[in-house]
A = this chain, B = another copy of it.
Amino acid sequence: MKRKETLVSAPPQTCPTGAMVIGAEPVIGTGEEVRSADPRTGAAIGPAYPAASVEQVERACALAAQAFPVFRATTAERRAEFLECIADLLDERREALVERAHLETALPRPRLTGEVGRTSGQLRLFAAELRAGTWQGARIDPARPGGAPLPRPDIRQRRIPLGPVAVFGASNFPLAFSTAGGDTASALAAGCPVVVKAHPAHLGTAELAARAIADAAAETGMPEGVFSQLVGSGTEIGARLVSDPRIRAVGFTGSRGGGLAIAAAAAARPVPIPVYAEMSSINPVLLLPAALGSRGAELGDAFAGSLTLGAGQFCTNPGLVLAVDGPGLDAFTRAAADAVATNAGATMLTTGIADHYATAGDTLTARDGVDELARGSRPGDAAGGCARLLTVAGARFVADPKLQAEVFGATSLLVRCADTTELTAAVCALEGQLTATVHADEADYPLAAKLLPLLEERAGRILFDGWPTGVEVGHAMVHGGPFPATTDPRSTSVGTLAIERFLRPVAYQDVPAGLLPAEVRDDNPVGVWRRLDGEPGRDALAADSAD
């Protein structure tokens, strides 16, 4: 009984014990055991995580529903303190998180150290956003007792949280897009309790992160049930969570198949709920002629660096390059192919991902007209993967939608277009994307100006002269985009706008002053931004507007 020994012999906040979190407590599941594996060897890692039973899923949802009215009534300031406390605990426990995540994901320690900082920084950004007082979306249309043709009542608006949110974390960011990642941070900021399904590839990391959240909830006096984390094998626990009537929204980062299954389950409920699934994107990179001509080789090198970063396991990995044929593209291709051919490869996140990566790359290579330009080395690890650069002619790309299938990993398809007309046609053929990148010299700007509206319609973020890997966490970021990049392009899963996914507006008509929520009271006691008859400001209402 190794699990029980672990539970006794080490402080739970830095050493995984095999426990979930339900309400305020660490709880051992009573279902089938699940274990993460070392991607280098494929060997299972202890402790075992018994999966949640049906009753345990029920209990997590019941506690979340029970916590909701209490949690959503907390002030923005108190929720900010909760988020900051989580951030502090994650930073304090950085070393343990990094070590465990390194064991479970084979991601390098410096990258994981940075990811802890990104995760705590993200929580602090949402704390700041809570205090900034814009997310409430407050609006006041004061009464016009003598209005024509009819007197106008007093109408005020604010946003309230949707209710408990189910979060499915990603394999590729065991911290920043997982248990304590952006979906959890934005849902908690909005005032929604969260029930996470721990990612099976990094159960220990998930447990340590969940303990930090539970400890912070206790320390800042948040209600029991504000956060739970469940373990499940296969898709059953997830399906139960999405179908539970107490769950009111879902955040998901993962595969297209997984996202679509969740969206279908959510739509089939008696009361459908919104699903924010960030799924698949091949992140086209456009190399415009002058840029290619002036720095083709340099771009080829830099592209290979972005392609192979983190074993290519970024949602924003550049899986597609669109460029016009010519000497500049030849230089790009030589440099990129050389870099890929000499790439040492990397250990991928799981053996399952590595197997799928190899198969998906072979499938893409086997399509009509596709050639492999270069292939790097594959490490001997269980989950080893090699970089691959493929190519196809523009006309084939436009004709074959299957060439847009995402290959999750360091494989990219270079599309050689005959001219800018074919390049434009290739852009028009694109599915929805998280990002679209343009490399352009000034001489390319007239062409870029024509392409920009086409890219806007197909991507959530457009970037110039950089690489899509690397998603800044800020106010202006959009990490989202048209289907199939996400199931809902009206928001983002990174950045402060993400909080809006979990809110909805409510109007208050002629509600007595003493019963109004603070955000829309005449005196604006919480100092939020409001639209008064449409005009933004944060002043109190003049006394003659008071009722």
Chain A residues packing against B (C-beta within 8 Å): 69, 72-73, 114, 117, 128-129, 132, 134, 137, 139-141, 149-150, 152-153, 155-157, 160, 162-163, 263-264, 267, 271-272, 274, 432, 440, 445, 448-449, 452-453, 456-457, 459-466, 470, 472, 474-478, 480, 482-484, 487-492, 496-497, 503-512, 514-515, 529, 531, 533-536
Return chain B residues, CB-CB under 8 Å to A512: 440, 445, 448, 464
Q: Are B505 and A157 in contact (CB under 8 A)?
A: no
Q: Which residue of B lies closest to A506 (CB)?
A: B456
Q: Which residue of B lies closest to A465 (CB)?
A: B510
Return chain B residues, CB-CB under 8 Å to A152: 472, 474
Could you tell me the distance between the alpha carbons of A459 and B157 in the complex, rounded to whole angstroms? Answer: 13
Q: Are A504 and B489 in contact (CB under 8 A)?
A: yes
Return chain B residues, CB-CB under 8 Å to A515: 445, 448-449, 452, 464
Q: Are B457 and A153 in contact (CB under 8 A)?
A: no
Given contacts A465-B510, A509-B463, contact A128 B534 (CB under 8 A): yes
Q: Are A506 and B160 in contact (CB under 8 A)?
A: no
Return chain B residues, CB-CB under 8 Å to A514: 445
Given contacts A483-B271, A515-B445, contact A472 B153 (CB under 8 A): yes
- The residue from B134, B474, B482 contacting A155, defined by CB atoms under 8 A apart: B474
Q: Are A477 and B157 in contact (CB under 8 A)?
A: yes
Return chain B residues, CB-CB under 8 Å to A457: 160, 163
Q: Are A534 and B129 in contact (CB under 8 A)?
A: yes
Q: Are A463 and B160 in contact (CB under 8 A)?
A: no
The 4 closest A-B pairs by CB, nearest first: A463-B509, A478-B507, A157-B476, A139-B476
Q: Are B509 and A505 in contact (CB under 8 A)?
A: no
Q: Are B132 and A487 in contact (CB under 8 A)?
A: no
Q: Which residue of B lies closest to A487 (CB)?
A: B272
Could you tell me the distance between the alpha carbons of A134 and B150 in the complex, rounded to whole angstroms? Answer: 28
Q: Are B534 and A529 in contact (CB under 8 A)?
A: no
Return chain B residues, CB-CB under 8 Å to A484: 271
Could you tell me the distance between the alpha carbons of A149 and B475 in the complex, rounded to whole angstroms? Answer: 18
